Structure 1
Amino acid sequence: MSEAAEPPPVLEAHGVVKRFGHVEALRGADFTARKGEVTALIGDNGAGKSTLVKVLAGAQPHDEGAVLVDGREIRFASPLDARRAGVETVYQDLAVADDLSVAANLYLGREIPLGGPLGRLGLLDKRAMRRGAAEALAELGVRIPRVTTPIAMLSGGQRQCVAVARAVIWASNVVILDEPTAALGVVQTARVLEVVARAREEGMSVVLVSHNMPQVLEIADRVEVMRLGRRTARFKAADVTTDDLVAAMTGALVTEPEDAELG
């Protein structure tokens, strides 16, 4: 009996080009994220990481190439299109509402209406949202005093954990995290990485954009390196060192395009 075919990656970019006037920010960029893995996307400033993330998140249309979700080519016209395809993104500048509670933030844009006439009048089932939020946060190991606490009263690490948890809860394919620990201390960073690890255990695919090489090697399964608008190297995280990653970022070590697809 032949072995079952390996499922396609959950998120891919093939030969993606993005121009801003005469500037070519992406020059045939490739990217691959697999189910149930953390894929780190790294590169020096100006390498094209942010532009690629915006293309994958539906925030910017690409000019050439293809973006695929579960092996099917999709062209996102907006971030809403990406969300509908199961791709959620958390940017470094958090999109959380400070004056709303933790539960309200988790259900922001996806509120649960009350049943019957009251729901048709726009009243929300806050009890159901509080219950759902508490269960989801507990499943991901997020430590929050109460889901009724306003976001403004949380620490930076707790706020980031809520933002990551919201993306994980609603994503069906992949969560993209853009520098999720850049402004956090050691303890807060550890908490966020715990949530990322828990999401992977639950079968979620995570794309981690980071400048922190030790952190990348600690949490990632695979690493993809961008330089000058293209993917120039990719590794299994267990097989490389920080020096290898730095060498790839600076162009001293190149594994693309000669390398075959990693198994």
Structure 2
Amino acid sequence: MTEPILQARGLVKRYGRVTALAGADLDLLPGEILAVIGDNGAGKSSLIKALCGAVVPDEGEILLDGIPVSFSTPVDARTAGIETVHQSLAVAPSLDIAANLFLGRELRRKGVLGSVLRMLDRNGMREEAKKQLDALGIMTIQNPGQAVETLSGGQRQAVAVARAAAFGSRVVIMDEPTAALGVRESRAVLDLVLQVRERGLPVILISHNMPHVFEVADRVHIQRLGRRKAVVDPKSISMSDAVAIMTGAMEVPEEAA
């Protein structure tokens, strides 16, 4: 069996008397889209936050390429090649598309202008931004100098996905990427998710939209009561059965385990 690129083993996270993660496990294989589903309070957000450095688990370990890693901040995870597209997108609406793609990683001009005067290479960032947008097949955005606040919801999501794909060298995590989007924009974002996988990056997709999950996921991780309840093949199980496992209405069938 292919070795997982990212693993979580026995993660525990407590918030006072509330246990958000109660020994959670996760395995992400190279080149796959792993969907993570679960009811409200199942621990999906805490699990993802632990993987991207937003929270530090109380117990357990995270392994990247089989090597234990420790993320104290999201910057640590980004340095390790794990990029996250949060539901809130974390874009700066008043800045242009290129500036958002390079937010926190701005390119500086060569020579004294960059090293001493700290001047930004805006043209270089816009050229690179255009390449990243084109590589993902994002044809609805033609001007990287356009302010993000003028974009539609789907276009803003595309900018966030392009940023993750540009800098994520190991893993891309997407938290509810189609939430609050219309049918057409959701379709475009799902195509982007598939494009990211085609570029060789494994994707963790958190979603409540079961049709979207079953359309793009290679495997489905079902989270329940702070733990991994099952990992199922979406081709061998129905959406209704997956929801039943997620809510505890049925046990995991042997053929789907």
Q: Same fold, TM exceeding 0.5?
A: yes
Matched, 1:232 2:229: yes
**In the alignment, is the contact (CA less than 8 A) between 1:13 and 1:30 conserved in 2?**
yes
Specify which of 191, 197, 211 is matched with residue 194 of structure 1.
191
Specify which of 136, 142, 159 is matched with residue 138 of structure 2.
142
Distance 1:213 1:45 in 2: 14
Match of 2:13 in 1: 18
Distance 2:172 2:114 in 1: 31
AA of the residue aligned to 2:246: M
Change (3 A) 1:229 1:259: farther
Match of 1:72 in 2: 67
What stretches of structure 1 of length at least 5 have no aligned partner? 1-5
Match of 2:214 in 1: 217
Matched, 1:133 2:122: no
Change (3 A) 1:10 1:259: farther
Match of 1:3 in 2: none
Distance 1:259 1:242 in 2: 15
Identity score, percent: 53
Specify which of 76, 96, 119 is matched with residue 123 of structure 1.
119
Residues matched between the structures, number: 255
Distance 2:243 2:67 in 1: 33
Question: Cα distance, 1:175 vs. partner?
Answer: 0.8
Distance 1:189 1:126 in 2: 31
Alignment of 1:1-263 (within 5 A): 7-120=2-115, 121-143=117-139, 144-255=141-252
Residue by residue over 1:174-202, the C-alpha shift from the partner in whole angstroms, topping out at 9 and shown as x without a partner, is: 11111111110000001111111011011
RMSD over aligned Cα atoms:
1.6
**In the alignment, is the contact (CA less than 8 A) between 2:96 and 2:146 conserved in 1?**
yes
**In the alignment, is the contact (CA less than 8 A) between 1:17 and 1:26 conserved in 2?**
yes
Distance 1:49 1:56 in 2: 11
Question: Cα distance, 1:239 vs. partner?
Answer: 1.6
SS at match of 2:235: helix
Distance 1:7 1:107 in 2: 33
Question: Cα distance, 1:7 vs. partner?
Answer: 4.8
- Greater CA drift, 35-44 or 241-250: 241-250
**In the alignment, is the contact (CA less than 8 A) between 1:18 and 1:62 conserved in 2?**
yes
**In the alignment, is the contact (CA less than 8 A) between 1:232 and 1:254 conserved in 2?**
no
Distance 1:62 1:7 in 2: 26
Distance 2:159 2:169 in 1: 17
**In the alignment, is the contact (CA less than 8 A) between 1:234 and 1:255 conserved in 2?**
no
Distance 2:48 2:172 in 1: 11
- Greater CA drift, 15-24 or 216-225: 15-24
Runs of 4+ in 1 over 6 A off after TM superposition: none
TM norm structure 1: 0.93
TM norm structure 2: 0.95
Distance 1:223 1:201 in 2: 19
What stretches of structure 2 of length at least 5 have no aligned partner? none
AA of the residue aligned to 2:47: L
Question: Cα distance, 1:252 vs. partner?
Answer: 2.8
